[in-house]
Amino acid sequence: MTTAAKKYLVTGGAGYVGSVVAAHLLERGHRVTVLDDLSTGFAEGVPEGAEFIEGRIQDAAKWLDESYDGVLHFAAFSQVGESVAKPEKYWENNVGGTMALLAAMREAGVRRLVFSSTAATYGEPESVPITESAPTAPTSPYGASKLAVDHMIGGECAAHGLAAVSLRYFNVAGAHGSLGERHAPESHLIPLVLQVALGEREAISVYGEDYPTADGTCVRDYIHVADLAEAHLLALDAMTADEVPAGEHLVCNLGNGNGFSVREVVETVRAVTGHPIPEITAARRPGDPAALVASADTARERLGWTPSRPDLADVVADAWAFAQERAGVRP
């Protein structure tokens, strides 16, 4: 679907997913303003052509006005372990910040929102693949904060005519050109394994080899960050065309629908990079489900979204190119 150029605010647009989505919006011809306090994002991650405002979402009312056609909201803290140690940080920023953002949108008359939600809202699933009707039972303050925001958005839609799409991501990976993962500290499997390939880490820890899976290691659903970005643009298209009308809050899972085990990821990195990847077997981590795989039927049916990069090797290859560029290694 092709739409006329519009103006969007991207909160958290200096972070990994937000920056890639901002880049896709610009490539589509839209005007983009990135709002980010750089607490976890990077100024150099803001795509060329975007206006950049260094600021907090709690203060969004300073900049948000009726000239904006919608908001894409990525500004959140997202470390599960940290959320357990510092739950107040997550409630204040993820929930309190979003409450302030929704109030600013209401005051400015901006009535379209795409929210970066998460599969962590489901907790440990009763069955896979996981559908949007699955019970939500988050096991961390991070997941609970995202679920609270989903409930908050639903109330805003019903009471004040907001049109909104919450996209619940599973495991996002890969890169889009010069935009990729660089968390500090890094906690995601693919970039951690790539650090081993680069010689920045001696080995990769495999947490548990006795899960009820084909090879005994955890299985996760990996989605290319560029496919994820395309889902956000389709969500905006759906709201613009009133396929997601004012007053509706649509929740969609985003994933490939296929799971890859930890060992399959490690083997794929070995094949893509040509480097040996030493492994260290470690005990299971508490709360790690055996398998997390998405059903993305709702996204396909309501948004017309189908991932175009489902091959794990392609995801790893793009992430590897980005990791080498950051490390100053010639591919």
Does the pLDDT at position 1 exceed 60? no
Q: What does the pLDDT read at residue 183?
A: 75
Summary mean pLDDT of the chain: 94
Could you tell me the pTM of the whole model? 0.94
Among residues 275, 265, 255, 268, the alpha carbon closest in space to that of 324 is found at 275
Read off the pLDDT of each residue in 269-283 and give the average, rounded to a whole number: 96
For the chain, what are the domain ranges? 7-173+222-254, 189-220+257-327
pLDDT, tens digit, 9 for 90 and up, residues 5-20 = 999 999 999 999 999 9
Half-sphere exposure of 201 (CA within 13 A, CB side): 18
Banded model confidence at residue 290, pLDDT cuts 50, 70, 90: confident
Does the pLDDT at position 242 exceed 90? yes
Read off the pLDDT of each residue in 76-88 and give the average, rounded to a whole number: 92
Q: What does the pLDDT read at residue 310?
A: 92
Neighbour-count burial for 280-298, b at 16+ CB within 10 Å, e otherwise: eeeeeeeeebbbbbbbbeb
pLDDT, tens digit, 9 for 90 and up, residues 13-70 = 999 999 999 999 999 999 999 999 999 999 999 999 999 999 999 999 999 999 999 9
Among residues 285, 231, 235, the alpha carbon closest in space to that of 80 is found at 285
pLDDT, tens digit, 9 for 90 and up, residues 161-215 = 999 999 999 999 999 999 999 877 778 899 999 999 999 999 999 999 999 999 9
Q: What does the pLDDT read at residue 329?
A: 82
Q: Would you state the CATH architecture of domain 7-173+222-254?
A: 3-Layer(aba) Sandwich (3.40)
Residues annotated as catalytic are 142
Q: What does the pLDDT read at residue 3?
A: 62
Q: In this prediction, what percent of the chain has a pLDDT beyond 90?
A: 88
The burial of 205, by beta-carbon neighbours within 10 Å (0-12 exposed, 13-18 middle, 19 or more buried), is given as middle
Q: What does the pLDDT read at residue 286?
A: 77
Superfamily of chain region 189-220+257-327: UDP-galactose 4-epimerase, domain 1 (3.90.25.10)
Lowest mean pLDDT among 65-69, 107-111, 283-287: 283-287
